Amino acid sequence: MKILVCISHVPDTTSKINFTDNDSKFDTNGVQFVINPNDEFGLTRAMWFKEKQGASVEVVTVGGAEVEPTLRKALAIGADTAIRVDAPATDGYSVAQELAAVVKEGGYDLVIGGRESIDYNGGMVPGMVAAMTGASFVNTCISLEIDGNNATAIREIDGGKETVTTTLPLVIGGQKGLVEESDLRIPNMRGIMMARKKPLNVKPAAQGSEETKTVSFEKPAPKGDVKLVDADNLDQLIDLLHNEAKAI
């Protein structure tokens, strides 16, 4: 089985976020980037298929040379090869077109992406890749088993879970539950050294068309001052909640 894991290069959630050019561009200075958490769950599941079923695992991302450390981390975790599509990842539709071109060329049985990335939270790329390549698609996937050409997946739905069966080729949008956080792998020294020798191929862009454009960013409003009320003064607390906070 040939697996492709789509990796997003996203800011660590602990990073301080700022914008430049009149709040129209994200300021990357001083920001630590990581593998998108939903993608990391998918990569870990792919490693299980590699170890238990002999699958080959490739990882891919769309972006400039700055994303290569993130791909190297995926290689250190255990992926066999990496692909960087040399195009800016500025629009979900164009990213999906670039990934779909890689999928069509590579002839993958299983494509694993994250349900959404934690930067823009678009939640659209895996579904569009499936549509562009004619593959089956399961989103919000929390369990996946492969038996030959058949796949059984469990996905989250409103109020419960749904079990579905389908055939390969398959694209999934994975999330926590596909593996647990305790199953995630930290690259060891041997993996890091081996990752330096594994292939990282740079492919030219397929020139996907952008359908959206970021006009501006806006930070959430700063938190207001906190008022402390004595635990015994319930009348004041109720008055503030009713007349000032408008919470009751």
The per-residue pLDDT for 223 is: 81
Mean local confidence (pLDDT), 63-77: 96
Q: Does domain 2-217 have CATH number 3.40.50.720?
A: no
**Rg for the chain, CA atoms, rounded:** 21
Rounded to two decimals, what is the model's pTM?
0.87
- pLDDT exceeds 80 at position 239: yes
- pLDDT exceeds 80 at position 208: no
- pLDDT exceeds 80 at position 28: yes
The phi-psi region of residue 131 (left if phi > 0; otherwise alpha if psi is between -120 and 50; otherwise beta) is alpha
- pLDDT exceeds 90 at position 207: no
Expressed in angstroms, the distance from the first to the final Cα of the chain is 58
Mean local confidence (pLDDT), 20-33: 90
Tokens 């290069």 map to which residue?
9
Q: Are 61 and 183 in contact (CB under 8 A)?
A: no
By the 10 Å C-beta count (0-12 exposed, 13-18 middle, 19+ buried), 71 is classed as buried
Centroid of chain to Cα 234: 46
- pLDDT exceeds 90 at position 231: no
49 pLDDT tier (thresholds 50, 70, 90): very high
The per-residue pLDDT for 83 is: 98
The tally of CA atoms less than 13 A away on the side-chain side of residue 192 is 5
